[in-house]
Structure 1
Amino acid sequence: MAYTPMHLYGLILTLLVVAGIGLYSAKKIKTAGDYTVGGRRASASLVAGGIAGTVMGGAATIGTAQLAFLYGFAAWWYALGAGLGLLLLGLLYAKPLRASGLETIPQFLVTNYGRTAGPIISITSSIGIFFSIVANFLSAIPLMSVVFSVDIYQSAGVVLALSVAYVFFGGVWGVGMVGIVKTALLYVNTEQLRILQP
């Protein structure tokens, strides 16, 4: 199947929708609690979208496919690790965290294990977030560069701007809504590929 202008238009539309959702979500942010936990008003679909938006980034799609091509079956460790981590968070921490009234898992851990745990948790959380961002950027920047025929620096600028638009402005609302859109797009595209396979 050849790359057509429709593919380019679809990609541009998707990027605009993602940025638009982030900017729209910013209207829902009035307090820090609105940003971090959706003001405790997030629906189950928004929470599921947030989880999907976190896990199904460039690292999970393009990165895992590349690892599978290079190393075979071992590439599934990313998906397995993310799935098990989220399962453990859901089973062990979700209910106590909600009951505590705190907003983040680091706050919960400091409350339960003391202030000395704070710096360790902050550093490890920051490193994890950094690696996640880097992995997504490493897949998004070359893809953007090839599709739009721009250099790596211009591509990096666009990827950074889109990330800022939907994460920094929208918080949990932005990530959740974009996650729902990403899940729908992955499902539709997977179904189209399945139908087109001979």
Structure 2
Amino acid sequence: MNINSFDVVIMIAYLLLLVVVGVIGSRRAKTSEDYVLAGRNLGFFMYFGCLGAVILGGASTIGSTKLGYEFGLSGMWLVVMLGLGIMLLGIFLAKRISGLSVMTISEYLSRRFGVEVGLVSALIAATYAMMVSVTQVIGMGTILNVLLGWNLSVSMLVGGGIVLFYTILGGMWSVTMTDIVQFVIMTVGIFFIMLPLGLSKAGGWSSLQTNLPETYFSLSGIGGQQIFQYFLLFALGMVVAQDIWQRILTAKTIKIARAGTVAAGVYSLLYGIAVAIIGMCAFVILPGLEDTQNTFASMAVAVLPSGLLGLVVAAVVSALMSTASGTLLASSTLISNDIIKRFYKKNLTDKQYLKLSRTVTTVIGILTIVCALWIQDVLIALDVAYAVLSGGIFAPVILGLFWKRATAKAAFYAIIASTVVILAGLVIQGITATTPIVYGIAVSFVVMIVVSLVTKQGEELKVAS
């Protein structure tokens, strides 16, 4: 299923453009705040574009197209729940988050509940962010493998290596500048090329209604339990995701943070519907695909002419790279700021911290690529990441922001208890099980509330200043 040389040239030119833009962005990363938060200086368009780009990655594009192929319109729920989580975050929490003088979600928890809570939450959030990066590298490998015929492992190394390169160079400024390019490319590629041409090739909406099972047009076709699991994993996970918090902190004003976050949520809803319909078109055009994870790539080859094919492939690679770079930087920031700097290198100068951030980003990036080579399944990696995140720190973050009575001891025990429950449940019932997440979140809230009510002030963990 290899594409022709002209499309390969377009893809290579696009990847080189990202490298150049990343190098240009690196010149603006002169301080640690520039590297981690782009100087907290983004206007609405850049903020909205970057947030939209980081939300919609490998699972959103490749995974949802696969779900659209297998289940129809209800395959949109994965991305819809991402959008719902972002909208909830924008409406209820963006103002509070913007007012915090912190770099990470764990730094907030450390100030609110103490260094112990900050440490365990940093480990959980960093693991989540790295696992999301892993899904993006897997997605890049899948696309390059199917379309260029490269070995899957080599494809992952190439895609992951480019992301790692420009992220190391300029941090959030390089990520921001490349994300704007990627946001434009992915919007054009999905909404204005792939969707209309896919529908046209499939014979239009009426043809889909004629040739697809009736369940493909039901919003609950994927199953109520699966939709509920997506809510637990993605809607709640978005609310406490470090990569999203980190993006919110880059906004120039609170108004931009709130409006841009809600706009990115709406964009995500539309994106989810679009890629699910593309998957439905693929079911008509390419019945009997052996590996449905290759649905998007196979569909692109089937319906797009030379030139446009290269652009659309660049679009989906854009979606993957933007999320990979954002979550890679989020994971390295948590490790650098909330673990190494706080516990081992307390007196670092700004220049030394900048060097430390680049070093940690390199290590996390290499580990991400290694994990991608090992797991090689987009949705499995994503499920594990969001399960631990949603169950582990959702309750402490929400109750910490809205309930003054919440105590440090309660937050610490809630995180430990819920994480143990979730991981044990996933081992016993399987990675795709929903009940461990439900139990984990329930345990977290119960422990937070009960321990907070019985904890005396003198028994609380010491809160960092």
Contact conserved, 2:25 with 2:173, CA < 8 A, in 1? yes
Deviations, residues 105-129 of structure 1 (Å, cap 9, x unaligned): 2212221233232123112212221
Which residue of structure 2 aligns with residue 106 of structure 1? Answer: 106
Which residue of structure 1 aligns with residue 60 of structure 2? Answer: 60
Deviation at 1:194, TM superposition (A): 4.9
Q: Equivalent residue of 1:102, what SS?
A: coil
Tell me the distance in 1 between the aligned counterparts of 2:167 and 2:92. Answer: 26
Q: How does 1:104-183 map to 2 (within 5 A)?
A: 104-183=104-183
Which residue of structure 1 aligns with residue 185 of structure 2? Answer: 185
Which residue of structure 2 aligns with residue 20 of structure 1? Answer: 20
Tell me the distance in 2 between the aligned counterparts of 1:195 and 1:83. Answer: 23
AA at the equivalent of 1:182 = Q
AA at the equivalent of 1:167 = T
Tell me the distance in 1 between the aligned counterparts of 2:152 and 2:95. Answer: 43
Structure 1 residues 18 and 117, CA gap change in structure 2 (3 angstroms)? same
Tell me the distance in 2 between the aligned counterparts of 1:25 and 1:116. Answer: 35
Tell me the distance in 1 between the aligned counterparts of 2:144 and 2:96. Answer: 41
TM-score, L = length of structure 2: 0.39
Tell me the distance in 1 between the aligned counterparts of 2:159 and 2:148. Answer: 12
AA at the equivalent of 2:66 = Q
Contact conserved, 1:25 with 1:170, CA < 8 A, in 2? yes
TM-score, L = length of structure 1: 0.85
Superposed CA RMSD in Å reads 2.3
Contact conserved, 1:52 with 1:180, CA < 8 A, in 2? no
Which residue of structure 1 aligns with residue 34 of structure 2? Answer: 34
Q: How does 1:58-97 map to 2 (within 5 A)?
A: 58-97=58-97
Structure 1 residues 27 and 17, CA gap change in structure 2 (3 angstroms)? same
Larger radius of gyration: 2
Structure 1 residues 148 and 194, CA gap change in structure 2 (3 angstroms)? closer
Deviation at 1:104, TM superposition (A): 1.9
Tell me the distance in 2 between the aligned counterparts of 1:50 and 1:162. Answer: 18
Contact conserved, 1:53 with 1:182, CA < 8 A, in 2? yes
Structure 1 residues 86 and 170, CA gap change in structure 2 (3 angstroms)? farther
AA at the equivalent of 2:192 = E
Unmatched runs of 5 consecutive residues or more in structure 1: none
Contact conserved, 2:35 with 2:170, CA < 8 A, in 1? yes
Contact conserved, 2:106 with 2:122, CA < 8 A, in 1? yes
Tell me the distance in 2 between the aligned counterparts of 1:139 and 1:61. Answer: 9
Highest relative contact order (Cα 8 Å, sep 6+), 1 or 2? 1
Tell me the distance in 1 between the aligned counterparts of 2:50 and 2:187. Answer: 16
